[in-house]
Amino acid sequence: MKKVITLPLDETELIELMRILMDDDAEGALAFLKTHFKGKARELLEGG
């Protein structure tokens, strides 16, 4: 079963995401994922 995560980003967060993608910044990507997805992924796995 597929689950969906919706991630609202403000302008600053969107710019940071684009910078990470353009620079291939692995460390920045990991930090971004930990900040924005960690809690949401846990909620989905726990049935949210």
Quote the pTM value: 0.70
Q: Please choose, from the candidates 2, 4, 48, 9, the residue with its C-alpha nearest in 3D space to the C-alpha of residue 32.
A: 9
Instruction: Answer for the pair 2, 44: CB distance below 8 angstroms, yes or no.
Output: no
d(Cα 1, Cα 39) in Å, to the nearest integer?
Answer: 20
Residue partners of 1: CB distance under 8 A and separation at least 6: none
Domain boundaries, the chain: 11-45
Q: Which of 32, 2, 31 lies closest to 14 in space, CA to CA?
A: 32
Give the tens place of pLDDT for each residue, 6-47.
Answer: 888 999 999 999 999 999 999 999 999 898 887 777 777 787
